[in-house]
Amino acid sequence: MHKNAYRIIKIFNKLYPNPKPFLRYHSAFELLVSVILSAQCTDKRVNKVTPALFKAANTPQKILKLGKKGLIPYIHSCGFFNQKAKAILNASKSIIEKFNGKIPKTIAELTTIHGIGRKTAGVVISQAFHIPSFPVDTHVFRVSHRLGLSKAKTPDKTDYNLRRAFPKKQWIPIHIQMISHGRALCTARKPKCSVCPLLSICPEGKRRVKIA
Ligand code: SF4
């Protein structure tokens, strides 16, 4: 466990008391599709387009039936719609062929699905199945490095460090709270260190405030 783990948990619980997934979904498959759509797109935008899409097709079989031409009008506004349609169709095909249409519950199995990496797999198992995981996106990577929780160069190695830094039962809420913090205060450009409650235990914050 990291020496600051409990202080970070306490501060995050005060700042973000109700950590809930940002994407809206009713099944693991819907979540997987939403995560694919969220690449280079806001969760807000994804949540706007998915109700109509999932009304039309909310299983791998129905998505395949819809096909690329049928899928694109629903996801067009999320950007990169050609690649995203292809990714959703390929993943649907894999899920049917390898797992009989059901989303598996382990990272090892999920990452055998076409186009699904460790981060997406981690989001699916933690948020759809409530199995502790620590997926590392750009916010989690940035915030955890600034807080001195990892020095790893890759998201996969950062994920390993974070799983050792915090108790397992905290992984799911802390992951969501770290994303919230990366959006609210610890932004990529101009983090608001001077008003951040983590400043006294944050190496990067102290460095920045001294410089400012
Ligand atoms: Fe991020 Fe600054 Fe807060 Fe550290 S003090 S967590 S760098 S906003």
Query: What pLDDT, on the 0 to 100 scale, is given for residue 212?
Result: 61
C-beta separation of 100 from 92 below 8 A: no
Neighbours of 194 (CB within 10 A): 10
Type of residue at 128: A
Per-residue pLDDT of the chain (212 residues; tens, 9 = 90+): 999 999 999 999 999 999 999 999 999 999 999 999 999 999 999 999 999 999 999 999 999 999 999 999 999 999 999 999 999 999 999 999 999 999 999 999 999 998 899 999 999 999 999 999 999 999 999 999 999 999 999 999 999 999 999 999 999 999 999 999 999 999 999 999 999 999 999 999 999 997 66
Ligand 1, pocket residues at CB < 6 Å: 143, 146-147, 185-186, 191-193, 196, 198-199, 202, 204-205
CA 205–ligand 1 middle distance (angstroms) = 5
Candidates 29, 16, 17; CA nearest to 128 is: 29
Find the catalytic residue in 43, 98, 137, 159: 137
Query: What pLDDT, on the 0 to 100 scale, is given for residue 115?
Result: 85
The Cα-based distances of 165 to 6, 18, 78, 174 in angstroms read: 10, 21, 35, 11
Residue among 185, 201, 210 whose CB has most ligand 1 atoms within 8 A, to mutate: 185
Q: 159 an active-site residue?
A: no
Type of residue at 120: T
Contacts of 176 (CB under 8 A, 6+ apart): 16, 19, 20, 21, 22
Candidates 112, 152, 111; CA nearest to 133 is: 111
Residues 116-170 pLDDT 10s: 999 999 999 999 999 999 999 999 999 999 999 999 999 999 999 999 999 999 9
Query: What pLDDT, on the 0 to 100 scale, is given for residue 210?
Result: 79
CA 166–ligand 1 middle distance (angstroms) = 18
Supply the pTM of this predicted model: 0.93
